[in-house]
Copies of this chain bind each other. A is one copy, B any other.
Amino acid sequence: MRWSKAYLPTYKESPSDAEIPSHKLMMRAGLIRKLTAGVYSFLPLGWRVLHKIEHIVREEMDRIGCQEIMMPILHPSELYEESGRLKHFGPELFTLKDRRGRFFALGPTHEEVVTDIARAEIKSYRQLPQTLYQILVKFRDEIRPRFGVMRAREFIMKDAYSFHESHESLAETYTNMAEAYRRTLDRCGLENVMVEADAGKIGGDVNHEFVVFAEHGESEILICSCGYVANSERAESLGKPLASKEKVQKKPEQVSTPKMKTVEQVSNFLDVSPAHLVKTMLYKSGDSMVAVLIPGERTLNESKLSKVLDDPYVEPLRDDDIKKLTGAEAGYAGPVGLPGDTRIIVDPTLDEYDGMIVGANATDAHLRGVKMGRDFEATERADVIAAEEGDRCKRCSDQILQLRRGVEMGHIFKLDTKYSKAMSATFLDNEGKERHFIMGCYGFGVSRAVAAAIEADYDDKGIRWPKTITPFHAIVLPVKMSDADTMMAAESIYAELREAGWDVLLDDRDTRAGVKFKDADLIGIPLRITLGERSLKEGKVEIYHRRDDRTELIDREGVLDYVREFYSA
């Protein structure tokens, strides 16, 4: 492609709403353009990267026997009523009414639609297993779209769905899929890790994320040298060792803590370490009241709580309900003396406590020296705290968890019968018995991968594309446009490389060389072939390696071989 005729706008400045490097660079290098919040166009340069990623994804899916299909974007909302996800997604689902007044959702994923297809046609175990996939635009009305295509409201995803008669068969496909994901990311040149993760709005018991390491990624990964790796939303830990301990008193001592509601206020006021305090957080699950106890300085992981209670709609009590339950204002709740039918869930890190300071269930008061098992009974022990960097690893109980940031590129799920049961999707097994499909689903963020590749490798001059997904293999840069020999060489190298099948960009713009060098660095093509007047006279051209920031002078005749060798390495 000739730059003079191409639609490749570049900018010196990035827009003010671009917070992270990939977003800034995608705007500056003309890969994307914002239409409205969280909604972007891919311009020619961005589209080329997208297309190469799609191609790799497709090859890896086909290789493990998945079959490509294309499902609609308009989903009748009845399907979401069947699956129960209408409520679960809530306002994140884009919905509309057609001219006849029927409701539709714009597909956020396609579990419902694919289950609807399968239940109509897969009748027998003989037709199983099946894995169908598509590469399609998806929609989620994110409350806070940001980071460009990284967290967009309209984005491209590869989603696959598998149907099985047995858990063994699902496990086999799940493993194949995990390997395909790893190969896909490896081929895209992206360092990645598979981590245990949270199932979010998809559901199912077992699931893993594929995360590409990147300093500005939104995902937090906790890693132990013992091999344990998990998303921070899902990670389990033993917490940190206690700095000091509250002594158990003969009986709980009520202390006055006027207007002190936070852990910080109370511990300062009583002049103890926050480790002496235990937070009591009150929730409602269906008609039950739930009190959750965690160490004073820790954060509750609501998603873990949701799973413990097996209730996706669990919600914190409002202040007036807290008053009704505890008799005190919010901020003074504690486990001692709660109504007998209150479920008390205790995080295992509290096992190490001797005494505890807890709310007194009386406004402006706390209890000191409380002992679990004597002053109150836990209904159950369950891991509900958010794991943090520096926590002790639960797997090895020996090493300390380290934090790394990354971008979630893929997420695979064993759904089991979650959707097939909700939607009555059945087949006949080899004994003629009707059974629900065992299912898996597997998502991969195709448009997000473009941004992830940039986050994973860039410098202050611009992007540095991996070889496999670069929009062009080489950029030919004639330094002096007015020099006839330079231009002749540029045209002949351009033609030679193109004929050999390479994607080449010829920067034939009639502008200053400085601008061209800057732009070439910005758009990050791995090889820049610079044609200078002087070196050409000696039959030489300059090859600049964007990633290594190094230059080599080679014979003009050797260009094609050089490019071929570089990309076959």
Q: Which residues of A contact B (CB under 8 A)?
A: 1, 5-7, 9, 33, 35-36, 39-44, 47-48, 50-51, 65, 67-76, 91-92, 94-96, 98-99, 102, 106, 113, 116-117, 120-121, 130, 132, 136-137, 139, 141, 143, 153-154, 156
Closest 3 CB pairs of A and B: A96-B96, A44-B67, A42-B70
Chain B residues near A68: list those with CB within 8 A.
Answer: 44, 47-48, 51
A39 and B72 in contact, given A98-B141, A99-B91, A120-B33 (Cβ under 8 angstroms): yes
- A292 CA to B117 CA, complexed, in Å: 52
Is B35 a contact partner of A72 (Cβ separation < 8 A)? yes
Contact partner, A35, options B116, B137, B139, B156, Cβ 8 Å: B116
- A95 CA to B68 CA, complexed, in Å: 29
Is B41 a contact partner of A69 (Cβ separation < 8 A)? yes
Is B40 a contact partner of A72 (Cβ separation < 8 A)? yes
- A76 CA to B40 CA, complexed, in Å: 12
- A202 CA to B203 CA, complexed, in Å: 44
Contact partner, A72, options B41, B48, B51, B116, Cβ 8 Å: B41
A73 and B154 in contact, given A96-B94, A98-B94 (Cβ under 8 angstroms): yes
Contact partner, A73, options B43, B72, B76, B137, Cβ 8 Å: B137
Is B41 a contact partner of A9 (Cβ separation < 8 A)? no
- A67 CA to B39 CA, complexed, in Å: 21
* Interface majority SS (helix, strand, loop, mixed), chain A: mixed
Is A7 a contact partner of B99 (Cβ separation < 8 A)? no
Contact partner, A69, options B9, B43, B91, B94, Cβ 8 Å: B43
What are 15 A-B pairs at a CB distance below 8 A?
Answer: A1-B67, A5-B130, A7-B130, A9-B121, A33-B120, A35-B71, A35-B76, A39-B72, A41-B72, A41-B113, A42-B71, A92-B99, A94-B96, A98-B153, A136-B137
- A1 CA to B63 CA, complexed, in Å: 11
Q: How far is the CB of A239 from chain B (nearest CB, A)?
A: 37
Contact partner, A154, options B47, B74, B99, Cβ 8 Å: B74
Q: How far is the CB of A287 from chain B (nearest CB, A)?
A: 29
Q: How far is the CB of A146 from chain B (nearest CB, A)?
A: 15
Is A74 a contact partner of B36 (Cβ separation < 8 A)? yes
